[in-house]
Amino acid sequence: MSQESLPDVQATKPEVEVGLNRVGVTNVKKLVEVTRDDNRPLVFTAEFNVYVDLPSERKGIDMSRNMEVTNEVLDDLTREPVYRVEDLCAEIASRLLKRHDYTTRAEVEMEAEYMFRDQTPETKMETQGFADVCASAVANGDGVRKSIGARVTGTTACPCAQGMMQQEAAEKLAELGLDDNAIDEFFDEIPQAAHNQRSKSYLEVETDADVEVGLDRIIEVARDAMSSRVYNLAKRPDEHHMTRRMHENARFVEDVVREMAAGVVDEFDLPDDAVVTMTQENEESIHQHNAYSERVMTFGDLRAQLS
């Protein structure tokens, strides 16, 4: 039987006429190649979620079209290179909106693990780091908005615990005969102990389709917001560097989000209506819970608040 002779059940009316915000396919795995100038292309094993909205008078969407459009755009990469994964999502969303004539909104989400070259802080050995990349795009009658974000791992030291340890050390040093100046000099040179957390920073920027935001710069800002970066490879001098830096830069979970905010303003020149999402989650070492902090605001408000 031909496709034309088969019934189009999706186009019929549902028994309960309620419109739906998002209908589509999830966990679609695809290889994605992103072009880089003067360098080898990046190849991601990416996972896509692809949605459109559905009006109340229609029973279902044409589900296969979501897959067709995703495949078409990825196939086009062999002829027209894509330099940013968020632009890829934007192209898929735009084509979905055109292909489904009954929808008013199309949305694409993509997640992938991104490997990048890294160098240990003291021994200067070549290694690799990784980040979870999250890209998305929404297309509607007003145009296309896209976002690019990254989740990275680092470490933090607790300022509260460190303050208690420093007070105890100061009292002991005074008992041993050191004056206040000597004690202050000691603390300036030797940071005190604290309990530590493996930490995850997430930074995302949402903009209009024609704005360019660098993924590598997002990763750098997020990594530097924590007390210390971490590395896949670390010799003893590198371990000493990370431990010392962590305790020299003790930060609460709240501090990390604020450091990200300052880093975004220093590093990026974005339109005022760009939306910046910053989250931080610390896996506590001496508690059975995690600590969490978040801020979402426009770049214009963020810049004004920090000016």
Looking at residue 7, its pLDDT comes to 58
Looking at residue 120, its pLDDT comes to 96
Q: What is the pTM of this model?
A: 0.89
Give the domain ranges of the chain.
17-158+194-306, 159-193
Determine the topology of domain 17-158+194-306 in CATH: Urate Oxidase (3.10.270)
Looking at residue 215, its pLDDT comes to 93
Blockwise average pLDDT, block size 10, the chain, 307 residues: 59 81 89 80 88 86 73 70 87 88 92 93 95 96 95 96 93 94 92 93 96 94 97 94 95 97 96 97 92 97 94
Using H for helix, E for strand and C for coil, what is the string for the chain? CCHHHCCCHHHCCCCCCCCEEEEEEEEEEEEEEECCCCCCCEEEEEEEEEEEEECCCCCCCCHHHHHHHHHHHHHHCCCCCCCCHHHHHHHHHHHHHHHCCCCCEEEEEEEEEEEEEEECCCCCCEEEEEEEEEEEEEEECCEEEEEEEEEEEEEEECHHHHHHHHHHHHHHHHHCCCCHHHHHHHHHHCCCCCCEEEEEEEEEEEEECCCCCCHHHHHHHHHHHCCEECCCCCCHHHHHHHHHHHHHCCCCHHHHHHHHHHHHHHHCCCCCCCEEEEEEEEECCCCCCEEEEEEEEEHHHHHHHHC
Looking at residue 101, its pLDDT comes to 83
